[in-house]
Homo-oligomer: A and B are copies of this chain.
Amino acid sequence: MLQDRLLETAIAQFGQHGFEGASTRDIASASGTAMSSITYHFGGKEGLYLAAADHIALQIREQLGPLHDRVDRALPLATREEAVDLLLMLADGFARLLLRRESEAWSRFIGREQQQPTEAFERLYQGAMKAMIDTVLALLARCRPDLPETERRAMAVLLYGQALILRVGRASVCRIMGGAALNQEDEAMLRARLARNVRCILSEDMDG
């Protein structure tokens, strides 16, 4: 489908060069069509950009939806220990997603929006991120009822950062791990260490 091809190309190009750096001519020709198709289907460059954001939100929902649903269903009846396990599952699912090559294109797109939010960020947030964050906060409330709400929110932020760095700071991550790219063992170790961190933080001495 022409529209989908344009969207995929747009995500890659906008992610790589930014909104202003990407050119509609290039996006169109890389999709095997003429530039004016973009005007026709999306109304222009900006319409294409927003449609790309919606497309990304949809992809993320498709990727994490099943896992997310499973966690949401299990949450109401979960004990504290089960909630810890659910959060570990969710964190690992997210980490796996961010380590996959396929996430590179759209994560660049999101990365730009994080630092420079436009209307597209609102679509990404409402379309994909909000539900996930709410679930994480609910899980944290179950795991650490001893902490004030604000501190649990801070925990969610820092947890999010530990996963996000795997994609957003990839250049540094490779340097720190000591190679040009991440190999299988690096990825396994990062995921394992993330799990240990989460477990450790969630089971921290509750007098604290």
Contact = CB atoms under 8 A, between A and B. Distances in A.
A1 to B, nearest CB: 28
B204 A171 contact: no
- State how many copies of this chain the complex holds: 2
Q: By DSSP majority rule, is chain A's interface helix, strand, loop, or mixed?
A: helix
Contacts of A173: 157
A30 interface: no
A189 B151 CA distance: 6
Contact of A115 (B170, B185, B190, B200): B170
A95 to B, nearest CB: 10
A196 interface: yes
Interface string A149-192: 01101111110111111101111110111100000011001101
A194 interface: yes
Contacts of A169: 114, 157, 160-161, 164, 168
A18 interface: yes
Interface in A114-164: 114-117, 121, 125, 129-130, 133, 137, 150-151, 153-158, 160-164
B171 A153 contact: no
A208 interface: yes
Nearest to A104: B115
Contacts of A201: 197, 200-201
A75 B164 CA distance: 30
Contacts of A115: 107-108, 111, 168, 170-171
Contact of A165 (B150, B157, B171): B157
